[in-house]
Structure 1
Amino acid sequence: MEARTEKIDAGTAGLDHYKSRLPKWRYVIRERLLPITRLETPYVALLQERTRSPALDTYFAWTANLGTHTCFMVALPILFWCGNPYLGRAMTTTLAAGVYFSGFIKDLLCLPRPLSPPLTRITMSGSAALEYGFPSSHSTNAVSVTVFSILLLRDPSTTISPKICMYLQILAYFYAVSIVLGRLYCGMHGFLDVVCGSLLGAIIAFGHFYLGPIKDEWMFSSTGNALLIIFLVIAVLVRIHPEPADDCPCFDDSVAFAAVVLGVDSGGWHFARTQYADASATYPGTVPFSISELGWPKVIARIVLGVVVVFVWRAVMKPLLLRTLPPIFRLIENLGLDLPRRYFKPASEYQTVPDQRDDDNVIPSARDIPHLLTNFRQRRAISIGPQSEADAYEALAYRQKRRRDSLREQNPSALRTEAIKDSEAGKDYFEPPKASHSRKRSLSLEEFRAQMGASADMLSPEAVGSPRAVDAKGSTGFSAEDEKDKSELFATVQKPRVRYDVEVITKLVVYCGIGWLAVEGNPILFHHVGLSL
């Protein structure tokens, strides 16, 4: 027992978990931003409490799926197969950039979602709770797609009638607002999360709208050097993705979408040089398409066939790679050439990768589809309390801070004297926060703060989020009450699945192949089975 007291057990000491696992500069930034998350929690809870209804619960839970990676991955290939490669490529690149950079920032700062309670979490996603909160990926995805679509609709070269163009813009605005507000309503994000996520999405959309055509022209006019540069850039982006303090799946999604971009670019570049591309089209690599000539039966048939081929590719290649790669990775590890990543089990610690369900946040396996369809409505979960280890760590740290503040209120002079002695001994000095002199707040807001066990002082920037407020003495020991809290919190969290080092390369190969199938493989198949012009 004494050995445990001397060792900092990462992940069980509240904020010490992040202090021990993050570089100092990342921890400092996190410490500065964490008070904002804490300050806005009662306001988000108040918004949720005043607007909750069964109808809105169902609406926002269902529409949240329109901002997921899976939704876009199913819809985007259709743009290529129906003769609009520019929009398909633009949307894919925009979405991939949003997934990568929002996941990059999430893993970089490790900021939590707003506390539950007082918030109630409403979600149909089994993996969303495992991710950090800042910024909101849903908001980034929705706003990037919306802004890019509106820029296209307002472009002087558009051939759409003004009336239809206006309706489409209204629909785009409604979509973005619905997704962003839905993240607040569902208790999955705070104001800072959705605002910064939306800003990130807008920046990405504007950037690709003005720079994307330049990049496409450079790539299609290249003899192949451009593809090598794109591959190197993607490899670097995957390598520099920060390691999180908790087992967060953001890296998996970033790898998947980086691979899709690589497959789309390489496949599009090669397809534009084949006889199967539409030579009369202004945009390179366009698939010959005309609804009037093909007819709706053939259009639907090619879409169904294309989706089936994607799932067959995934069903064949993923298990094949998971069986063949571990021995290769063990050899690389023995040579000391491996690049280990936290929370990924190295090949030397396992012989085979077991079959796992729900192991992909982007495209589910074919065997999971019937289960998802028959139980889709039941998947909506309404919960109160921590849903992930990151939630539990934050809730534990928050409870510890509340107890310290309670001791300070009961005997502030004794605690201050003890803190000064600790400071003289070289330990952290705890300066009790000044009393809050903010304006009078509504009774309803105070009730929500009472649910959190927090007074106005405890939600002030001086008090919230400071690691020194968790433990004035810098101790990592645990009281019986701490241990009880820890057991209660971690008993209900969703456990992240075991991830294996070979899964990174597996995702790169599988999703690069999916991108290639979308722009080249399936269009060539359509030609040979009679589903092309």
Structure 2
Amino acid sequence: MATDLLKTFVQMCNYLQDPRHVARFQKVCGVKGTFPVKPSEPDRGESEPESPVLRKRGPDSSVVNGADGDAKGVQGDITAGPEAPSVDTTRAKPLRKNSLTGDVGQEFLIHNKFLFYLFTFGTELGNEMFFIVFFPFLFWNIDPLVSRRLIVVWAWNLFVGQSTKDMVRWSRPASPPVVKVEVFYNSEYSMPSTHAMTGTAIPFCLFMLTYGRWQYSFLFGFSVALSWSVLVCVSRVYMGMHSILEVITGFLYSLLILAFFHPLLETIDNFYMTDHFAPLVIIVSHVSLGLVAFSLDSWSTSRGDTAQALGTGVGAAIGTHVNYQLGLLLDPQLSSLPLTLPPISLSLVFLSLLRFIIGVAVILVTRMVMKAVTIPSLCRLFGLPTDDVRQARQHMKVELPYRYIVYSVVGFSCVSVVPLFFKIFSLA
């Protein structure tokens, strides 16, 4: 009985991992590839030359991936034919290229612009720029306590997810048949989907932290969290970055991590604020986690993302400690809960936008200056050429401290420096 269940489970996983399902979903959503059809050559599920940067599944695992067998039939369905595109069709290339890998992707056709923009927005909900906007806005304008606890969950979620990727080592769905609408993360492993993880952990953690603390209905909060999560998860399949199995795994994995960390968030937050040894513990623990993540596999962009999240967590945690010690951390009293949104007025909107624009400008300038200073300094320190940033950042001794230094300063600025600036200029 147990053997049959295990066999059924494995078969189901193999089925959900098949890239042909991704290709069919893309076709239904109006995405069509421009792969050249070569019937005289056997289709191994790989359209790009072998590269040390792009990790491919070997021939023995391509059956599981679904790139072998009758994948050619699906490719024929999604391949651009000789006919001219219709009026409603748009030729496009991936919106973001990866400056570290040089991967720019291949042109594809969009037949449904609404879904293209919807899922592009959905996938951006898991990208760096969104969190640079989301966490500060939440911290400066709505609820600092919720924001700093979300950062803890986000950092740990990315660390666990990216480290799992480097241990499982599954590459992205084969292309063809899959159309790579996005290529920025194409050099990373894909199991589990960390976009699905953050896109699930952040909205549900936000819901769990704010329900009862703020006045709103359970159905409204749960619906927003679920819609956010589903949009991010489905967008990763649409982008051709993940199989259905990888997205489902990321969704469930993040719920497991959230179930573990949510009861500990208050304890962690209090430790960050009150313990005199907190800064030392924060730095040592986060740097140690980064070293573990960087030792799991050879270079990939996922290692930098892990260090970036951990670095942001370091800066935000130390900023929390500094704010508390200086008496600048003014969380509302428990007696004032639940909180209610104040009446929306022009002055409130103007002040919120002013804080947000000034604060984000400070953070972006800080990030830009720190990047410009840190990488050349580290290259000189370790005797590496400074004229090739891409090559230099593939060295652990450059990438790890660079990410930690830059994003710890960014996190500290968000939590401590910018609010102090607001207080000085009466914008708090």
TM norm structure 1: 0.57
After superposition, give the CA deviation of every residue in 1:209-254 in whole Å (9 maximum; x if it has no partner): 21111212233231x2133222221121111115466642001011
| Other structure's SS at 1:309 match | helix
Kept in 2, the 8 Å contact 1:133–1:193? The answer is yes
- Which residue among 372, 382, 385 is the counterpart of 1:351? 385
- Which residue among 19, 22, 27 is the counterpart of 1:44? 22
Kept in 1, the 8 Å contact 2:319–2:416? The answer is yes
| Equivalent residue letter for 1:46 | R
| Residue in structure 1 matched with residue 310 of structure 2 by the alignment | 258
2: CA distance between counterparts of 1:299 and 1:59? 27
Q: Which structure 2 residues correspond to residues 29-428 of structure 1 after superposition, within 5 A?
A: 36=14, 40-52=18-30, 53-55=111-113, 56-123=115-182, 126-152=183-209, 155=211, 157-162=212-217, 165-222=218-275, 224-243=276-295, 247-278=299-330, 281=333, 295-329=348-382, 347=383, 350-354=384-388
2: CA distance between counterparts of 1:38 and 1:206? 25
Alignment of 1:508 onto 2:401: no
| Other structure's SS at 1:119 match | coil
| Other structure's SS at 2:181 match | strand
Kept in 2, the 8 Å contact 1:108–1:242? The answer is no
2: CA distance between counterparts of 1:242 and 1:351? 22
Cα 1:279/1:207, change in 2 over 3 Å: closer
2: CA distance between counterparts of 1:37 and 1:328? 50
Kept in 1, the 8 Å contact 2:149–2:269? The answer is no
After superposition, give the CA deviation of every residue in 1:172-197 in whole Å (9 maximum; x if it has no partner): 21111121122223321112211111
2: CA distance between counterparts of 1:217 and 1:351? 44
Cα 1:36/1:353, change in 2 over 3 Å: farther
After superposition, give the CA deviation of every residue in 1:395-435 in whole Å (9 maximum; x if it has no partner): xxxxxxxxxxxxxxxxxxxxxxxxxxxxxxxxxxxxxxxxx
Aligned length: 330
Q: How far off is 1:497 after superposition?
A: 8.5
Alignment of 1:499 onto 2:394: yes
| Other structure's SS at 1:129 match | coil
Pairwise CA RMSD of aligned residues? 3.0
| Other structure's SS at 1:178 match | helix
Moved more, 37-46 or 134-143: 37-46
Cα 1:327/1:179, change in 2 over 3 Å: closer
Cα 1:110/1:301, change in 2 over 3 Å: same
Kept in 2, the 8 Å contact 1:148–1:206? The answer is no
1: CA distance between counterparts of 2:371 and 2:294? 25
2: CA distance between counterparts of 1:194 and 1:279? 36
| Equivalent residue letter for 1:160 | Q
1: CA distance between counterparts of 2:264 and 2:332? 25
| Other structure's SS at 1:45 match | helix
2: CA distance between counterparts of 1:40 and 1:268? 45
| Other structure's SS at 1:128 match | coil
| Residue in structure 2 matched with residue 374 of structure 1 by the alignment | none
| Equivalent residue letter for 2:372 | P
Cα 1:275/1:149, change in 2 over 3 Å: closer
2: CA distance between counterparts of 1:509 and 1:142? 26
TM norm structure 2: 0.69
| Residue in structure 1 matched with residue 425 of structure 2 by the alignment | 529
| Residue in structure 2 matched with residue 486 of structure 1 by the alignment | none
Kept in 2, the 8 Å contact 1:57–1:186? The answer is no
1: CA distance between counterparts of 2:171 and 2:161? 14
| Equivalent residue letter for 2:19 | T
Q: How far off is 1:79 after superposition?
A: 1.7
2: CA distance between counterparts of 1:280 and 1:173? 28
| Equivalent residue letter for 1:215 | I
1: CA distance between counterparts of 2:17 and 2:256? 27
| Equivalent residue letter for 2:386 | T
2: CA distance between counterparts of 1:65 and 1:159? 27
1: CA distance between counterparts of 2:16 and 2:269? 44
Cα 1:210/1:521, change in 2 over 3 Å: same
| Other structure's SS at 1:120 match | coil
2: CA distance between counterparts of 1:143 and 1:280? 27
Kept in 1, the 8 Å contact 2:146–2:206? The answer is no
Kept in 1, the 8 Å contact 2:236–2:242? The answer is yes
Q: How far off is 1:300 after superposition?
A: 1.7
Moved more, 100-109 or 295-304: 295-304
Cα 1:246/1:57, change in 2 over 3 Å: farther
After superposition, give the CA deviation of every residue in 1:353-407 in whole Å (9 maximum; x if it has no partner): 54x5xx7xxxxxxxxxxxxxxxxxxxxxxxxxxxxxxxxxxxxxxxxxxxxxxxx
1: CA distance between counterparts of 2:291 and 2:256? 23
Cα 1:497/1:111, change in 2 over 3 Å: farther
Kept in 2, the 8 Å contact 1:326–1:502? The answer is yes
Structure 1, unaligned stretches of length 5 or more?
Answer: 1-31, 284-288, 330-346, 360-495
Cα 1:277/1:46, change in 2 over 3 Å: closer
| Equivalent residue letter for 1:264 | A
| Equivalent residue letter for 1:220 | M
Moved more, 518-527 or 309-318: 309-318
